Amino acid sequence: MKKFLVILLSVMLLGSMAACQKEEVAAQGVTDDKVLIANCAATSGAYAPVGVPFIAGIQAYLDVVNKAGGVDGRKIEFLHNDDEFDPVKGKACLDSFINDDKVFAIVGHFGTPVVGATLQDLKDSGIPAVYFATGIGQLYDDKATEEEMNTNIFPVQPIYVTEGQIMVARAVGDFEAKKIGVIYTSDEAGKDILKGAKIKAEELKVTLVEQQVAAGATDVSAAVTAIKNAGVDFIIGASIQGTFPTIAKELAAQGVDKDVITTYVNVAKANAALYAEAISGKFDVYGNGWVAFDDAHAAAIAEFAKNISAEYAANAYAMTGWIAGYFFVEGLKRVDGTVTWKKYIEAMESAPFNNPFGGVIDYKDGARLGTQEMNLSKVDTSAASLWTNVKPLESMDTILGK
């Protein structure tokens, strides 16, 4: 009898232990009434005009959510530290948020040098990281897996590798190009756009003719001559900001008459003003975009403007902060039951997201591609902004008629 009681007690104890092991525990930064998130971003120095409105946009979106009661009764508290766009300070800032403040997630990780220096730290930690204010290629992954410990990364903003693919899709689908010239800068942005262009060109069986120029080069004549002599049908200007106007003006100077597409980063009045007159009547310059100011997004844009201070109501960086807040919250809303990192990651992959100001992003099956739908604008000297939208937000399959 005594032996039977011992066995019975042992079975009950094992059952109790198993029940305890099955009981889920909420992730760090999650309590019954709060979810703690954070980011490091430059709010002083040269990049303050970007970082300050970006942070304001995140906070404005979270304020709207919190005023409505939060998510499942939990308010979202947002911590922020200024890393001055310094990778060393950014690394220390991130470590402090994860290990000292023990936040649940990083939302709106900011700036190419800081993201580049800390991305592996984020992956190693396993903490969900939603939205990166950069398009660096290290974020691109078409098949993130638990084994590689990189499923916790959720880029939203365009990644140059993806944009390079979209550029080739546009060249083929909209301009019927079979031979595409690529003038790319020697920096990461140029190389990443070229990488994406190669992926799509191989898939679509079209030819790429590549020419590299130094980032910031003032003389790109040799590269332009090579592209001109190759007899291409269409040209990709795979360079950001300062170098692209030099490329566009040299193409015009050498009498090139093939249309050109460039990255969304260059779709700005100040950039187009540097070459618009030079290319007039010779060829068109097109640029991608990922935020749409059309009727389909009017209500979301009005909601943003109503809930942020007037000084940021038309600020593009504040809008991207709002987008960052939106993506994090939408993922949190999808979590059923106890909030854990694993459940949050699964929730983010469970269904596509509709960017409130843009297109659809789908993280299913480990896709970490950033924005997957972009619109198309053209330089237009008659427009106040020097750009006119000519194509709506479209996926690569839609562009290619699939």
CB 324 within 8 A of CB 108: yes
Strand 373-379 to strand 387-395: parallel, antiparallel, or no bridges (unpaired)?
antiparallel
Could you list the beta-strand ranges (E) of 202-267. Answer: 207-213, 234-238, 260-262
pLDDT band of 13, cuts 50, 70, 90:
very low
Q: What number is the average pLDDT over the span 323-327?
A: 98
Strand pairing category for 153-154 and 129-133:
parallel
Euclidean distance between CA atoms 84 and 296, whole angstroms: 37
Tokens read off for 110:
């900011």
Of the listed ranges 93-97, 125-129, 144-148, the least confidently predicted one is 144-148
**Would you state the structure tokens that stand for residue 14, as one six-digit string?**
């094992």
What are the tens digits of pLDDT across the range 38-50? 999 999 999 999 9
Note the pLDDT tens digit of each residue in 330-367: 999 999 999 999 999 999 999 999 999 999 999 999 99
Angle at 273 between CA 270 and CA 279, to 5 degrees: 145
- Please give the structure tokens belonging to residue 231: 């007899």
Count CB-CB contacts under 10 A for residue 314. Answer: 12
| % pLDDT > 90, the chain | 91
pTM: 0.90
Query: What is the structure's pLDDT at 6?
Result: 42
Model confidence at 14, pLDDT cuts 50, 70, 90, reads: very low
Domains detected in the chain = 34-158+294-371 (3.40.50.2300), 161-289+374-399 (3.40.50.2300)
For the stretch 234-264, pLDDT in tens is 999 999 888 999 999 999 999 999 999 999 9
